């Protein structure tokens, strides 16, 4: 299949070349290297015949413009997808993708390790629409067959989970779903298409919170939905019906980030692995949740299906009172406390999966931290974390 962007799925060029050149048409932009920010609602037609035929590329601003289209073309090429839809946020990408597969009376299975807003959408919105959202053990693999119902229409995977970092066996899940006509959706934000080719491994729809790694600078929101040919029209129609639109300003910042994605991901990977391996050796650390480490229980799946790893991982500390956690986090000078991740700055926040897990209750005793490793000097990050850990242990 040939990607709708006009770039073949199997591209002889390296990914760095693709990221540098895909989606850019300087000849159409008076020679300017970057596609400029297009702002506009009204698009003019040259004749009544043109208006009636609805054949020109852009009909109305809500449907996109050259700035948004360049992002879709880049991501389509990266994923080897049929096409990609750009939406205003990662959560919008999740909701549009799920609604494109589901109708009232249907059932969807969602991994128990999913991003909390994904779960909230399932329990608080889909249920209102007469759609049952059930949660499954992230380690079921082909055993997910036993969880299927006659009305199951979709399976939602997040691999690894962005709080507890379980890897799911996507090929095994897809092998169960595809013969039954069940759509497999995956949130691939952690590894990006650079390190995990979800469509090739059996997914029908791939979702990215572009706000994270694609943007890379903590200054814009976006989400992408890339599909195979069979899933495209439903996604396109659902986005149009819901009226989701990404502004040219946001799209410009996403495109800017994508141009350096390969270089940034390589550095994030190297630095996160170094820090994770070092933290594993520290007193008071029960375990580090990073799929690329040999100590991770799903490391064999990571080695089989992934070509690299992301910037995000978990650290489970020995139990301590809240005051100890506050002493640790409030005193950090380089690791900031904030939601999201993927930017140049390092982050550290506590997470509490026990309050949301249902299929497989989280019973680990201790404090779970989620770290995103940015671009500060590694010795400085180690010193900041070590000092924080000392404060944490002193209060136990």
Residues 148 and 180: their CA atoms lie apart, in Å, by 10
pLDDT for res 201: 97
pLDDT for res 62: 85
pLDDT for res 20: 79
Q: Which helix (H) or strand (E) holds 136?
A: strand 132-136
What ranges do the domains of the chain cover? 15-259, 262-394
Annotated catalytic residue within 187, 298, 305, 384: 187
pLDDT for res 269: 97
Annotated catalytic residue within 38, 82, 115, 195: 115
Residues 281 and 284: their CA atoms lie apart, in Å, by 9
pLDDT along the chain (396 residues), means of 10: 41 74 78 82 88 85 87 94 96 97 97 93 93 96 95 97 94 97 97 96 97 95 97 96 92 94 96 98 97 97 97 97 96 95 96 90 93 97 97 87
pLDDT for res 64: 87
* Stated pTM of the model: 0.91
pLDDT for res 6: 41
pLDDT for res 42: 86
Q: Residues in the chain, how many?
A: 396
Tokens 């396109």 correspond to what residue?
Answer: 236
Task: Answer yes or no: 62 catalytic.
Answer: yes
Q: Which helix (H) or strand (E) holds 132?
A: strand 132-136
| All residues at 6 or more sequence positions from 369 whose CB lies less than 8 Å from its CB, including other chains | 314, 315, 316, 317, 348, 349, 350, 351
pLDDT for res 72: 95
Annotated catalytic residue within 69, 119, 153, 212: 212
Residues 75 and 222: their CA atoms lie apart, in Å, by 12
Fold of 262-394: 3.90.1150
15-259 to CATH, choices 1.10.240.10, 3.10.20.600, 3.90.105.10, 3.40.640.10: 3.40.640.10
Residues 192 and 71: their CA atoms lie apart, in Å, by 14
Task: Answer yes or no: 115 catalytic.
Answer: yes
pLDDT for res 15: 86
CA distances to 60, 69, 121, 239, 246 from 54, rounded to whole Å, are 10, 18, 35, 19, 22
Annotated catalytic residue within 62, 180, 352, 396: 62
Residues 257 and 245: their CA atoms lie apart, in Å, by 19
Task: Answer yes or no: 344 catalytic.
Answer: no
Same fold, 15-259 and 262-394: no
pLDDT for res 7: 39
């Amino acid at each position: 299949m040939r990607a709708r962007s006009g770039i073949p799925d199997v591209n002889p060029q390296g990914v760095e070349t693709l990221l540098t050149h895909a989606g850019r048409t300087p000849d159409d932009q008076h020679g300017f290297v970057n596609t400029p920010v297009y702002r506009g609602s009204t698009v003019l037609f040259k004749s009544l015949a043109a208006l009636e035929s609805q054949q020109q590329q852009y009909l109305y601003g809500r449907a996109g413009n050259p700035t948004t289209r360049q992002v879709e073309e880049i991501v389509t090429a990266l994923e080897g997808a049929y096409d990609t839809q750009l939406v205003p946020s990662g959560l919008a990408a999740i909701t549009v993708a799920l609604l494109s597969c589901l109708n009232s009376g249907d059932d969807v299975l969602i991994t128990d390790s999913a991003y909390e807003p994904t779960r909230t959408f399932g329990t608080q919105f889909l249920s209102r629409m007469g759609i049952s959202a059930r949660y499954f053990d992230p380690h079921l693999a082909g055993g997910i067959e036993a969880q299927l119902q006659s009305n199951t229409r979709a399976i939602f995977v997040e691999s690894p989970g962005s709080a507890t970092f379980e890897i799911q066996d996507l090929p095994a899940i897809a092998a169960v779903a595809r013969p039954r006509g069940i759509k497999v959706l995956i949130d691939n934000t952690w590894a990006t298409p650079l390190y995990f080719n979800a469509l090739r491994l059996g997914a029908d729809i791939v979702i990215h919170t572009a706000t994270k790694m694609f943007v890379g600078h903590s200054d814009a929101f976006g989400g992408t939905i890339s599909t195979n040919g069979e899933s495209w029209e439903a996604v396109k129609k659902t986005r149009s019906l819901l009226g989701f639109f990404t502004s040219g300003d946001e799209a410009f910042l996403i495109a800017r980030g994508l141009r350096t994605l390969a270089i940034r991901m390589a550095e994030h990977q190297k630095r996160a692995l170094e820090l994770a391996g070092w933290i594993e050796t520290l007193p008071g650390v029960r375990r580090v949740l990073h799929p690329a480490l040999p100590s991770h229980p799903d490391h064999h799946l990571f080695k089989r299906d992934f070509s690299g790893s992301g910037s995000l991982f978990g650290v489970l500390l020995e139990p301590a009172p809240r005051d100890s956690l506050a002493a640790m986090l409030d005193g950090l000078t380089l690791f900031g406390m904030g939601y999201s991740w993927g930017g140049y700055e390092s982050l550290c926040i506590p997470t509490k999966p026990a309050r949301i897990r249902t299929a497989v209750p989280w019973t680990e005793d201790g404090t779970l931290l989620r770290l995103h490793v940015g671009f500060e000097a590694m010795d400085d990050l180690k010193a900041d974390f070590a000092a924080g850990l000392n404060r944490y242990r002193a209060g136990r």
